[in-house]
Structure 1
Amino acid sequence: MVEVGSKALVLGRRVGSLYRRRVKEVGELPGKVDKHEGEEVAGEKEEEGREAERKRLTSWIVRCLDSEEKLNKRIGELEEDYEDLKDKYDGAVGELDDLKNSVIQEHINGFEKGLRPVSYTQLDVYKRQHGG
């Protein structure tokens, strides 16, 4: 019986220490729950922050794409205008060359017209001087 009593004493101590450990763990549970709730709230706030950042970046991307589309459209318009101006410039250069050639030819024709009477006058002067 002594042996049973000593086993009961050992088991009693063991059960008592397990009970105290359980009571201690149960006492710590509210702290762990509070800690977990705090982490959960922090996680939710972090997720809200990420969601806000995602929305901000999404709107920024949309604005960039809109700007790119507008710029591409404007570049196309400017290229068309450039081609039109280039064609007009080439036409104007051709017309100016033609006009320059016409002016030069008119000067040459006028000079030749002016030389004819001078040559006749010179011939008349020569004939008068030499008696002829």
Structure 2
Amino acid sequence: MISSMDNMKPNAMIKTMLEFNNKALILGHRVGTLLWRELKEGGKAKEDNEELKEKYVGIESELENLKGHIIKKHINDFTKGLRQWTFFCKEVDATDSKYDVNKDVIDGRLVDEDDLSAEQMEEMSTTSGRVLVAEEDVTMQVETDPTTN
């Protein structure tokens, strides 16, 4: 390339240098514009990120609040059912200490569910039409639909 520059006429060399200079100015302007746009949008992206983080925290706290409401509603409905049961069975006191929600009636006896083995739980589910679903520390009874069996 250097040897080709030595063979160039001075006017052609000046013309070529002006052309490179013009292209460099145009490209420099474009790069500057792109950089400015990137900086501007980058700041907007940070703002959007902060806004999304705030929304996430708000939604997360709302979810925890809703979980609390669901649990409270479940407890209130259970208590309501107990009150109705007490109303219809006036001779039975539901607040008596012998009634425990962790116990179930098996073979005519009140048995603590923690004392039940897996085989007894399986036997109970087949004989009573209910399915006991055990998860970690929680045991709940789910009524099965007799038409699907």
| TM-score, normalization by structure 1 | 0.60
Mapping 1:106-117, distance limit 5 Å: 106-116=80-90
| Identical positions, percent | 13
Structure 2 match to 1:27? none
Q: Note if 1:97 corresponds to 2:71.
A: yes
Deviation at 1:53, TM superposition (A): 0.5
Structure 2 match to 1:60? 34
Structure index of larger Rg: 1
Structure 2 match to 1:39? 13
SS at match of 1:52: helix
Alignment length (residue pairs): 86
More strand by share: 2
More RCO (CA 8 Å, sep 6+):
2
Q: Note if 1:84 corresponds to 2:58.
A: yes
Deviation at 1:117, TM superposition (A): 6.7
Structure 1's unaligned 5+ residue stretches are: 1-31, 119-132
Provide the alpha-carbon RMSD of the alignment: 2.0
More helix by share: 1
SS at match of 1:89: helix
Structure 2's unaligned 5+ residue stretches are: 1-5, 93-149
Question: Which portions of structure 1, spanning 4 or more consecutive aligned residues, are displaced by more than 3 angstroms?
Answer: none
Deviation at 1:43, TM superposition (A): 0.7
| TM-score, normalization by structure 2 | 0.53
